[in-house]
Structure 1
Amino acid sequence: MKLGVFMVLFGGRKLEDALDYVVSKGLKAVEIGTGGYPGNSHCNPKDLLENEAALKEFQQQIESRGLIISALSCHGNPLHPQKELADKDHEDFVNTVKLAQKLGVKVVNTFSGCPGDHEGAKYPNWPVAPWPNDYKEILDWQWENKVIPYWTEQAAFATAHDVKIGLELHGGFSVHTPATLLRLRAAAGKAIGANLDPSHMWWQGIDPVQAIHILGREGAIHHFHAKDTVIDPVNVNKHGLTDMQSYTNMLDRAWQFRSVGYGHDIKVWADMMSALRLVGYDFVVSIEHEDGLMSIEEGFSKAVDNLQQVLIEEPVSEMWWV
C-alpha cells in the first residue's frame, strides 16, 4: 500500500509547493480535486484537455517528485433535480474521466448524487425510513428512474475510457452504505465501486472493518480515504446520528470528523489496514483531513504519523513457516 493525501486540503497553496510539502512528509500518492464540491484549484480538466503542453507540465510536476495520482475526484450531485446544477457536475465528471484516461489514472471518485422526489422537484430528497409508505415510493422511483439509468450509462462510459468509478458512501446521497453500493454495482456493472471512507461508516453505525470485508470480497473497493469520526456519548442521545446541526457547532454535535487516531485508536486502524490487505486491496490510503479542532498542517501531520505506524507497504512474502 501507499500513503497519499486528498490535495484539496492544500488548495490554498500552489500545486508545486503543495507537492513539495507532501513529499517532505514521506507520502507517495496524491488524489487531485477536479471539480464539484472539492473544486479544481490544482487541476481544471477542461483546460488540460484543451492544452497538451499544460497537460504534460501538470503530469511532470507530479511524476518528477516520485508521486503517483491515486484518483481524480469530482464529488458532486449529477442527479440534482435542478438541471443546471446536475449538468455542471455531469460535465465535471465526463471531463475528469477523459483526463484520467490521458493521465493513466485508473480511478475517478465522486458521489452517487441524490435526485428529487418527482420530475418537477427543485431539491434532492434523501429518504431514510421505509414508512410512511411515501418514502419507500420515493426511493423506488429514484432508483428506477434516476440512479440506475444514469450510472449504468456512466459506468459504460468510464469502462470505455479504462477508468473505474469510486463512489464515496456518504449520507445525503443515494449510495451511502455497502448495501446501496452493491445494489448499484449489480445493476450498472463492475466499473462501479467504493471510495470507502470509514468516517462516514462510523456515524451511520457501520463498522468499517466489516464494510471492508463486505465490499472487498466483491472486489468493490476502488479507493480508500483515511478520516476518523468521534461520536459524543451524551450528544448522540440528544440529537441522534442524523444530527442536522452545523459542523461548526462541535461542542453540542452528536458526532464530528477527526484526524486519524483521534476518533478511534491505532489498533482499529491497524485492523482496517489488515482487512484491506486480506480482501486484496493493495493500493492507496488517501488522507482526508476535516478536523475542526486542528489546523491543516497539524491534523495532516498527525494523520501521517499515525498511519505510518500501521500501513502495510511491502508485498506479501511467502509463508516460510507453512
Structure 2
Amino acid sequence: MELGVFTVLFADKNFEEMLSYIASKGIKAIELGTGGYPGDVHCKADELLGDESKLQDFKQAIAEHGLMISALSCHSNPLHPQKPIAAEADETITKTLKLASKLGVPVVNTFSGCPGDHEGALYPNWPVAAWPHDFQEVLKWQWEEKLIPYWKEKNDLAESLRVKIGLELHGGFSVHTPATLLRLREACGSAIGANLDPSHLWWQGIDPVEAIKILGKENAIHHFHAKDTMIDQPNTNRNGVTDMTDYANMQDRSWYFRTVGFGHDQKTWADIISALRLYGYDYVVSIEHEDGLMSIDEGFTKAVENLKPVLVKESVGQMWWA
C-alpha cells in the first residue's frame, strides 16, 4: 500500500507548489480533481486531452517529484433532473475517463448521482424510507429508468478504455451503501466498484471493516479515502443520523468529519488497513481532509502521522511458519 492525498486540499497552491509540498511529506500518490464538486485547479482535462506536449509535461512533472496518480476525481450528479446540470457532469465524467486512459491512471472516482422522482422533477429525490410505498415507487423508477441505463453505458466505456469507476458511497446519492453499490455493479458491470470512504459509513451506522469484507469478497473496492467521522451521540438522539443541520454548526450536528485518528482511534484504523489487505486491496490510501476544527496543513499532517504507523507496505511473501 502507498499513502496518497486528494489534492483538492491545496487549491491555493499552483501545480508545482502542490507537488513539492506533498512530496515533502513523504507521500507517494496524488488524487487529482478534474471538475465537478472538487474543481479542476490542478488538472484541466480539456487542455491535457487536446495537447500531447502538455500531457507529457504534466506526467513528467509528477514523476520528477517521485509521485504517481492514484485516481482522477470528478464527483458530481450526472443524473440530476435539471438537464444542464446533468449534461455538464456527464461530459466531465466522460472526459475524465478518457484522460485517465491516456495517463495510465486506473481509476476515476465520482458519485452515482441521484435522479428526481419523475421526468419533470427539478431536484434530486433521495428515498430512505421503505414506507409509505410512494418511496418504493420512486426508488424503482430511479433505478430502472435512470441509474442502470446510465451506468451500464459508462461501465462499457470504462471497460473499453481499461479504466475502473470508483463510486463513493455517500448520503444523498443513490449508491450510498455496500448493498446499493453491489446492486449497480451486478446490473451494469465489474468496471464499477467503490471508492470506499469510512467517514460516510460511520454516520450511517455501517462498520467499515464489515463493509470492506462485503465489497472485498466481490473485488469491488477500486480506491480508498482516509477520512474520519466523530459521532455526537446526544445530538444523534435529537436529530438522527440523517441530520440536516448545517455542516458549519458543528456543536449541534449528530456527526461531523475529522482528520484520521480524531474520530476513531489508531487501533480502529489499523483494523481497517488490515481488512483492506486481507480482502485484496493493496493500492493507495488517499487522505481527504474536511475537518472543521483543524487547518488544512495541520489536519493533513496529523493524518499522515496517524496513518504511517498502521500502513502495511510489504507483501508477506512465503508463510515460513505454516
TM-score by length of 2: 0.99
CA distance in 2, matches of 1:317, 1:301: 31
Q: What runs of 5+ residues in structure 1 fail to find an aligned partner?
A: none
> 1:53-72 alignment to 2 at 5 Å?
53-72=53-72
117-126 or 60-69, which deviates more: 60-69
Task: Give 1:182 deviation, angstroms.
Answer: 0.1
Amino acid at match of 1:141: W
Task: Give 1:239 deviation, angstroms.
Answer: 0.7
CA distance in 1, matches of 2:289, 2:111: 18
In structure 2, the residue matched to 1:304 is: 304
In structure 2, the residue matched to 1:222 is: 222
Q: Is 1:105 the equivalent of 2:115? A: no
CA distance in 2, matches of 1:4, 1:15: 16
In structure 2, the residue matched to 1:136 is: 136
Task: Give 1:150 deviation, angstroms.
Answer: 0.2
CA distance in 1, matches of 2:237, 2:41: 40
Residue aligned with 1:224, SS = strand
> 1:158-237 alignment to 2 at 5 Å?
158-237=158-237
Task: Give 1:232 deviation, angstroms.
Answer: 0.4
Amino acid at match of 1:131: W
CA distance in 2, matches of 1:53, 1:320: 50
In structure 2, the residue matched to 1:247 is: 247
> 1:221-300 alignment to 2 at 5 Å?
221-300=221-300
Residue aligned with 1:22, SS = helix
CA distance in 1, matches of 2:16, 2:314: 28
CA distance in 1, matches of 2:165, 2:316: 27
CA RMSD of the aligned region, Å? 0.5
Task: Give 1:65 deviation, angstroms.
Answer: 1.2
Amino acid at match of 2:294: M
CA distance in 2, matches of 1:12, 1:139: 40
1:165-184 deviation digits (Å, cap 9, x = unpaired): 00000000000000000000
Task: Give 1:247 deviation, angstroms.
Answer: 0.4
> 1:19-38 alignment to 2 at 5 Å?
19-38=19-38
CA distance in 1, matches of 2:64, 2:137: 53
Residue aligned with 2:263, SS = coil
Amino acid at match of 1:181: L
CA distance in 2, matches of 1:107, 1:263: 28
Q: What runs of 5+ residues in structure 2 fail to find an aligned partner?
A: none
Runs of 4+, deviation exceeding 4 Å: none
TM-score by length of 1: 0.99
Amino acid at match of 2:280: G
Q: Is 1:122 the equivalent of 2:122? A: yes
CA distance in 2, matches of 1:102, 1:216: 28
1:49-87 deviation digits (Å, cap 9, x = unpaired): 011111111111111111110000000000000000000
Residue aligned with 2:251, SS = coil
| Count of residues in Structure 1 that have an aligned counterpart in Structure 2 | 322
1:291-322 deviation digits (Å, cap 9, x = unpaired): 00000000000000000010001122211111
> 1:45-60 alignment to 2 at 5 Å?
45-60=45-60
Task: Give 1:15 deviation, angstroms.
Answer: 1.2
In structure 1, the residue matched to 2:10 is: 10
Identity %: 67
CA distance in 2, matches of 1:256, 1:218: 30
1:141-186 deviation digits (Å, cap 9, x = unpaired): 0000000000000000010000000000000000000000000000
Residue aligned with 2:321, SS = coil
Amino acid at match of 2:215: L
